[in-house]
Structure 1
Amino acid sequence: MGSGQVTSSVPSGTSEFQGKHVTVAGLGVSGLPAAKALHARGAIVTAVNDGDDARAREQAAELEALGITVRLGDGATLPEGTELIVTAPGWQPGKPLFRAAEQAGVPVWGDVELAWRLRGPDAAPWLAVTGTNGKTTTVQMLASILKAAGLRTAAVGNIGVSVLDAVLGDEQYDVLAVELSSYQLHWAPSLRAYSGAVLNLAPDHLDWHGSMDAYAADKGRIYEGNKIACVYNVADPRTEDLVREADVEEGCRAVGFTLQAPAVSQLGVVDGILVDRAFVENRQKNAQELAEVSDVDPPAPHNIANALAAAALARSFGVPAQAVRDGLRAFKPDAHRIAHVADVDGVAYVDDSKATNTHAAEASLAAYEPIVWIAGGLAKGAEFDELVANSAKRLRGVVLIGADRALIREALARHAPEVPVVDLDRTDTGAMLQAVTEAKRLARPGDTVLLAPACASMDMFTNYNQRGDAFAAAVRELGA
């Protein structure tokens, strides 16, 4: 873990942007506030967008009313005179617009980078979280803990609330809990968090990043310039490797979290208690009790890991142990994240529709036994051998749905040939009721029927929320 002095970012104000030609790439959640903020600071803004649908035209009209130029259906051409691009996080680095910018020597920022540069001199520090899975839950837990400590805070970033809106709004914060995706981190070169955490790393969005190494490197940007703590997952050595590679402020420490008894400078679990051996006096000999495992909802292993990561970030900010306990007790998970729907005839039905990749599904499967697993959807290039091999012993049966279910079926044939599989050859939304009915037939009292698809939902549903709602509705119909 390197050490270096981090310079402060450019303060808020008009001078940096007055008269500057800035292109905002992409409308939507991040593009709209970015264009408005830059225009308000005197920039000459052109907004470009690939799409030209009704929603884009509505947003374009809103910007044009302010005097901002908008080009719909043309996100590839670099507007003449552009001195800076501020991009929506999802735009891929290989797009023609960015290649043209690189050739012209034009820098590219994301909305997070813009927010970081626009925050005022007395701005709230950021406690930042990234990882393949668990980001949103961890950031929400962190915000709950910070609020329990009496701090003014909000959960922002890749969580629905724009960082830019939080930074430029009227509300005053003591500290922000910030969720950052690999896309956002890629476009945020000067971000320097107070403390940062990488929860885990598994192959995801490799089509965007180009390789696992590039994906990991972008995740690792969250540690650059950390002031107090770089929080890593002891069970995932790659996260600790990223800490070692980071250039941080003098005195910043590596702090691990583990589901085992913690070593020095770690948070972990001892006899059902979450304990801290990182932010205590004489950590060689002492540990601080923070909360009980039963204070975490739900107390699945990966969710306890989320709670430990949130606790580590909060403790790095000086939050007392009691606030960790109170914040975890107050936290309620979002829908479709290991949500217990109902018990029917002695069988538990659990909705983890948010498990849209293999890493998330494996964590969900690890929380129950025996399981009738409902899986399938859009694989997004994923392979399922490792997931199935690691989870085979927990499976009572499997019901497969969705466009790419054959990939999971083939992995089951290789690694769990004795497990009964029902392959539903349909992708209409009504398939979920049939899937739940088949799962009920396979299950025995004491089992869990678990929707943890390991795939995206867009082949059959609008999003994972609709998929989870369909599952819950089917379970209710089953028990009626």
Structure 2
Amino acid sequence: MTDWQGKHVTVAGLGVSGVPAARALHGLGAEVTVVNDGDDARAREQAAELEALGVTVRLGDGETLPDGTELIVTAPGWRPDKPLFAAADRAGVPVWGDVELAWRLRGPDAAPWLAVTGTNGKTTTVQMLASILEAAGLRTAAVGNIGVSLLDAVLGEERYDVLAVELSSYQLHWAPSLRAHSAAVLNLAPDHLDWHGSMEAYARDKGRVYEGNRVACVYNADATGKPSTEDLVREADVEEGCRAVGFTLGAPGPSQLGVVEGILVDRAFVENRQRNAQELAEVSDVNPPAPHNIANALAAAALARAYGVPASAVRDGLRAFTPDAHRIAHVADVDGVTYIDDSKATNTHAAEASLAAYDSIVWIAGGLAKGATFDELVGGAAKRLRGAVLIGRDRALIREALARHAPEVPVVDLDRTDTGAMLQAVQEAQRLARPGDTVLLAPACASMDMFANYNKRGDAFAQAVRELGA
């Protein structure tokens, strides 16, 4: 669609994507109706703002297709099996996500997109990428699932040279036309399977990010399991000349980025890559230099190099980057014990990476499991565990995995789900820890059984640690 005047568009969902979409479509002349499942105070406040513009808002009914709808633009989290979409399918009404809408609304001289997806590490990698692009003197922004609306970036007054775009599997599911300059899938592990229906469907949606890539499809050369990120590259329909570029924590082969003796090196975007390599940065330039974060840095560097960024900008951008809170954040050292907040580790894959970064750990874990199992996670980390303190609704699943795979590890099971449990958890962890150990909050679970979000959970942990040292 290029002429929006008078088009009847239904926006499914309010929130961070629906409100900008409704505003943008209304501004283009469309007749916009917003439907929303909820009817709480926040929804009514957003509805009032939109209704003042002339947008129709229907609260408490996200199931029924409004009469005359010619297009649905959905919030990414709305499941494909909702009755609204079944009705749209019967009526022949297309469904786009906010990413698809932003892609279609780009101007003729729009900035190209460097896109990142994966089960874990997306936000950090996109922020690293933006920092590297800025170090190269480019006008850029970190946008997408990271919290900055792509619609605002595409339709705003500021002009960009290139965008660093974080995309979730939900967003990719609803973005069939997206064609990035270059893209990376960082990793694949079971997540959101209740939404996608299967691991195969989840991986297929992740793999959409490679479709139509022009310069580079960046994949994790260290990944195991099927499908791998390399498998997704093989299956993608890309433009002529687009290359597969791997990243590895080992020494890179041709067309890869990797690590040699503490140096991040590029053997993909150099002349005569069979023989030559370009030094990009030192491992110590990555903050923090945990293995999975080095992998994030390599992926960001690969995308930046695909765009033509010089090696010096990779180094300067990584040095300038500061990670967000609650991502392997050092809180304090108390009596020779280090306390690390990785509350963002909301699934087993993220927790596995976090646990691999330390040698002797008292692990604080638990929360909402979201259908996950913990045997593989515990089995891989067993030798590193000094002890474990379990909190949250589904902690029994982790306790049982510990009993099977690490029976010698002492476990404290806190039978409470109030927010005050975190202070007790930290106190119990302190009791188990010895000088040189790391007390690691890497819950492997979502937080909403006890906290509003993972940020609040991490804040509670940090406050509890501060009380230890007071």
TM-score tier (shorter): over 0.9
Matches within 5 A, 1:166-315: 166-237=153-224, 238-315=228-305
Name the SS of the counterpart of 2:128 in structure 1. helix
1:20-48 CA distances to partner (integer Å, 9 max, x unpaired)?
Answer: 11100001111111111111111111111
Name the SS of the counterpart of 1:397 in structure 2. strand
Gaps of 5+ in 1: 1-9
Tell me, yes or no, if structure 1 residue 105 matches structure 2 residue 92: yes
Which residue number corresponds to residue 427 of structure 1? 417
In 2, distance between residues paired with 1:259 and 1:390?
18
Look up the equivalent residue of 1:69 and give its one-letter code: T
The one of 69, 73, 79 equivalent to 1:86 is 73
1:406-441 CA distances to partner (integer Å, 9 max, x unpaired)?
Answer: 000000000000111011111111111111111111
Matches within 5 A, 1:274-423: 274-423=264-413
Tell me, yes or no, if structure 1 residue 449 matches structure 2 residue 439: yes
Which residue number corresponds to residue 452 of structure 2? 462
Tell me, yes or no, if structure 1 residue 48 matches structure 2 residue 35: yes
Name the SS of the counterpart of 2:16 in structure 1. coil
Name the SS of the counterpart of 2:435 in structure 1. coil
TM-score (norm 2): 0.99
Q: Which moved more, 1:321-330 or 1:65-74?
A: 65-74
In 2, distance between residues paired with 1:421 and 1:64?
54
Which residue number corresponds to residue 19 of structure 1? 6
In 1, distance between residues paired with 2:210 and 2:275?
28
Number of residue pairs the alignment of both structures matches: 467
In 2, distance between residues paired with 1:473 and 1:23?
44
Look up the equivalent residue of 1:140 and give its one-letter code: Q
Which residue number corresponds to residue 118 of structure 1? 105
1:363-389 CA distances to partner (integer Å, 9 max, x unpaired)?
Answer: 000000100000001101100000000
Look up the equivalent residue of 1:437 and give its one-letter code: Q
In 2, distance between residues paired with 1:61 and 1:24?
15
Give the drift of 1:16: 2.6
Name the SS of the counterpart of 2:327 in structure 1. coil
The one of 126, 145, 156 equivalent to 2:143 is 156
Look up the equivalent residue of 1:68 and give its one-letter code: V
Give the drift of 1:62: 1.1
Name the SS of the counterpart of 1:356 in structure 2. coil
Name the SS of the counterpart of 2:138 in structure 1. coil
Look up the equivalent residue of 1:206 and give its one-letter code: L
Look up the equivalent residue of 1:57 and give its one-letter code: R
Look up the equivalent residue of 1:436 and give its one-letter code: V
Name the SS of the counterpart of 1:466 in structure 2. helix
Which residue number corresponds to residue 136 of structure 1? 123
Name the SS of the counterpart of 1:453 in structure 2. coil
In 2, distance between residues paired with 1:391 and 1:156?
34
State the identity %.
87
In 1, distance between residues paired with 2:57 and 2:455?
32
1:223-254 CA distances to partner (integer Å, 9 max, x unpaired)?
Answer: 00000000000111510000000000000000
In 2, distance between residues paired with 1:34 and 1:468?
32
Give the drift of 1:196: 0.3
Give the drift of 1:403: 0.6
1:76-118 CA distances to partner (integer Å, 9 max, x unpaired)?
Answer: 0000111100000000000000000011110000000000000
Name the SS of the counterpart of 1:449 in structure 2. strand
In 2, distance between residues paired with 1:138 and 1:77?
39
Which residue number corresponds to residue 438 of structure 1? 428
Name the SS of the counterpart of 1:29 in structure 2. helix
Look up the equivalent residue of 1:266 and give its one-letter code: Q
